[in-house]
Amino acid sequence: MPSLIKIRNGRQVYRATVMVKGTRKDKLFPDSSKDSFRAAAEWEKETKKQLIEQIAEPATPTVSISIETWLQEYLDDAKLRFVKKTYQEKKGAFDRLAKQPDIQAETLVETLTVKSCREFLSKQFKERSGYAANKDRKNLSTAWEWGRVNFQNWPGSSNPFQNVSKFPEIRQTRYVPPADHFWKVHDVAKGQDQVMLLSFLHLAARKSEIFRLTIHDLDFKNNQVRLRTRKRKGGHLEEDWIPMTGRLKAALLDWIKKRMAIVGVDRQHVFICLDDKPFCEPYYGKPFKQRRHLMARLCRAANIPYFDFHAIRHLSASLLYQAGERVAVIQAILRHKSPNTTERYLRRLFTDDRTREALEKLDNAATVINIDDKRSTQT
């Protein structure tokens, strides 16, 4: 039943109140008149009826998402967006998660807690490495955020993988070959292999970018090369035009002339498999996907320590830095989105050079002070 109460200005009004199984609703009416009383009483009657009906209705069941459904749908999407190596990396993290004793295919995603995720990642840290554990953390954290966007009934809790602190890593410096080692390898290479190595150096390119090159990516008129990469957020295939040096232009023109004379091979890609060994037969005339043994073979022939294709990209950055180029220029050539990435790329070289220069100055700056003479002067 409505009750009369005094509000802040001392005026009396009717207050209607309804309580049903712990759920309470209140409403104030304008004054203490009979009309307000009747309106308050009617409101109580209707509101009580509505609350009883709401409580009586069965709750709409929430459709929970299993870990198997989550990971499989994410992998299906990742397969369309990323290169094979990235996809395999993600799949490996999911396979390891699914092998946990307390995780089954039908386990619901909301049962994943920070504690269970920490236990899983700690196991990777102990059995594999800090780097490996952090890779799994990154991939699973990304998959969790993907689920938040793509599933309607995704848990509202924070990302349990992201909430696990990163593990310590033992970071080894990537070997960057001296320039003369590169040229020794270049000189023992033949035909398209020699042109490919020059392309890696003069374009500071990634392996997939060189393997992906087509005839249409070579603009000899404007002296530029189009490189396309998926090494960007979301796996988008993005392209950049890079200047073509005079030496690279001459080498590519010569190679394209010889390459187009070869009959029965792919006509689009710049570099194709031309090995006549039996195990290369299924790939003959097709663009490269891998060249697993080339660099090892060339380094042995040149009698120098082994380095891979990506080390040539590091060499290009090092040579540009040693030549005094600004970070912004090197960033444009490496095609990094952020200058911070380029600075991290160069930090090792920068630190070595500047530290060595500083230490060399110690010989010139150091002087011997005779303590006894100093004391006699002060007295």
Summarize pLDDT for 194-216 with one digit per residue, the tens. 999 999 999 999 999 999 999 99
In a domain, 249, yes or no: yes
Please give the pLDDT value at position 349: 56
Please give the mean pLDDT across all residues of the chain: 84
Same domain, 46 and 82: no
- What does each C-alpha distance from 328 to 61, 209, 320, 333, 342 come to in angstroms? 56, 21, 11, 9, 8
Same domain, 35 and 184: no
Same domain, 226 and 187: yes
Closest to 137 in 3D by CA, of 156, 159, 108, 157: 159
Summarize pLDDT for 14-30 with one digit per residue, the tens. 888 888 776 777 777 77
Same domain, 225 and 299: yes
Same domain, 40 and 96: no
CA atoms within 13 A on the CB side of 16: 19
In a domain, 167, yes or no: no
In a domain, 174, yes or no: no
- Residue 302 sits in which domain range? 179-359
Same domain, 38 and 101: no
Given a cut of 90, is residue 55 above it in pLDDT? no
Distance from CA of residue 115 to its chain's centroid? 24
Same domain, 343 and 194: yes
Number of domains in the chain: 3
Summarize pLDDT for 268-302 with one digit per residue, the tens. 999 999 887 787 788 888 998 888 889 999 999 99
Given a cut of 50, is residue 236 above it in pLDDT? yes
Same domain, 194 and 306: yes
Same domain, 320 and 200: yes
Summarize pLDDT for 89-118 with one digit per residue, the tens. 999 999 999 888 877 777 889 889 999 999
Same domain, 191 and 302: yes
Same domain, 47 and 80: no
- Please give the average per-residue pLDDT across 358-367, as a whole number: 59
CATH classification of the domain holding 245: 1.10.443.10
